[in-house]
Amino acid sequence: MSKEKNLKPSKELPLGFVDRQEKELLIRDFVISNIKEVMTKYGFQYLETPSFEYTDSIGKFLPDKERPDQGVFSFKDEKKWLSLRYDLTAPLARYVAKNYLELPRPFKRYQLGSVWRNEKPGPGRFREFLQFDADYIGTDNILADAEICILMSEILKNCGLSEKDFSIKIFSRKIYDALIEDLNLSNNFKTGLEVTNAKLKILRSLDKIDRLGETEVLKLLGKGREDKSGDFTKGVGLDEDQIKKIQFFLERLKFSQGKFKIDTNRKPGDEFYEEEMELINEGTDQFGYLVESEDNFNTGGFDEIQELRKIFLKANFKNYSIDPTVVRGLEYYSGLVYEVSLNFEVKNEKGKIIQFGSVAGGGRYDNLVTRFDKNLNVAAAGFSIGVDRLTYALMQKKQNLLNKIKPVMICNFFEEELAEYFKIQKVLINNNIPCELYSGNGDLKKQLNYANKRDCSAVIFYSQDEIAKKKVKLRDLKTGNESFIELSKLANEIKKLL
């Protein structure tokens, strides 16, 4: 017999994949139901696209990846490569290009679905995860961006978080695009392709400021950095003067972080409302000073942020800040970008506090649909929520988020009494009490062990003694107390235990 025939399949999962148990799934279902409720209120349409797309359709948009076969799971079908989708936005762009004439504009859609990324996993970050997306297609009105931020806030609050538990941070990719243009990358790199790759690497490095800190990101912009594990990441290759220019720009922007929340007392109709609006219009507040002093970078990004702030003021929306650390690593973003970070501690499986990062984010991607049809110039904006990441955090923050009703188990003593057992089960089910009739093979001890492992609230006995008394015996597994109860009163008595 060959050695191969003696090999056993592994019990372990591939790295970055996880089995999800009931508690997590129930909280995830709770999150999903709240998402759907908010989306319905705001008039979004439900859409589903396939898990697989042609590899060239999803594009080279993953962070830290140079080729479309890296970062995604792919296989070749006849003559074309197929890949599992790594997000829900690229498939949406393909769908819009295919159905553009039939769609209302703006087209407001939301989608829930699994996505797959072949990259290094981390705490709460997996290679397969559930994602939620909401998008506006066919409008360049910044009202859409404003509503996206309001939607993100409302969803998180519906899921049990307070405004203090999370922060919505906003900036613009146009500002960073202008900064990168000012670096004259063509002096460093010979071909247009190398310049394009350098731009993407710079953006992806800057996107790590929140996680790695400015010092480590500056290393990534230069020769590279070595992490705690000893792994070395090759840098962009900028020279010292270019790095100093970025560092100076970051210092100029840093003062604005977290300081642009609208005064909670200012509402339409108040005497201070017009004063606040005038400050924004004139650009005489701190952020306005930056607008006036950075003419070289004023390609519309600052103006869009100011316009967004005006809409927030009119909507009385306050839970946001202007934050230059928001860059977003995906290539296709073209304007305003936004992220949601949690403000409470999150621990890994070993109980160690970790830097969890964002649970939601998005932005404007006005050029993505054009990839499929050059005649379609379609403005678009959207956001994503990592449902599994949010669930991971909620399980720690909101321990009692779900009051799960524990099942009741009916012990199975005699086959000839099955009719009576089914009668008891039907009474409980009709009263919306979860219950199960023991279907295994085992004596009373094994049945009680099973009930404890199932975390049952109570067990029901109906053996010879109970049959003689024409009552069932109910044992509370939490206290151990037992009582004989008539079948007609059983449901009410059990509800007292739940």
Q: Which residue has the higher pLDDT, 47 or 118?
A: 47
Q: Which residue has the higher pLDDT, 411 or 189?
A: 411
Q: Which residue has the higher pLDDT, 134 or 394?
A: 134
* Whole-number Å distance between alpha carbons of 378 and 137: 7
CATH fold group of domain 408-497: Rossmann fold (3.40.50)
Q: Which residue has the higher pLDDT, 395 or 68?
A: 395
Among 40-49, 149-158, 243-252, 487-496, whose mean pLDDT is lowest? Answer: 243-252
pLDDT tens per residue across span 246-258: 887 776 665 444 3
Question: How is the chain split into domains, by residue range?
Answer: 22-397, 408-497
Task: State the average pLDDT for the chain.
Answer: 82
pLDDT of 206: 84
Judged against a pLDDT cut of 80, whether residue 333 lies above it is answered with yes
Do 22-397 and 408-497 come out as alike in CATH topology? no
Judged against a pLDDT cut of 70, whether residue 193 lies above it is answered with no
Q: Domain 22-397 maps to which CATH number in 3.30.930.10, 3.30.470.10, 3.30.460.80, 3.90.230.10?
A: 3.30.930.10
Q: pLDDT class for 402, splitting at 50, 70, 90? A: low
pLDDT tens per residue across span 201-213: 888 888 888 778 8
Judged against a pLDDT cut of 60, whether residue 69 lies above it is answered with no
Angle of CA points 218, 256, 339, to nearest 5°: 75
Q: What is the pTM assigned to this prediction? A: 0.75
pLDDT, average across residues 168-174: 90
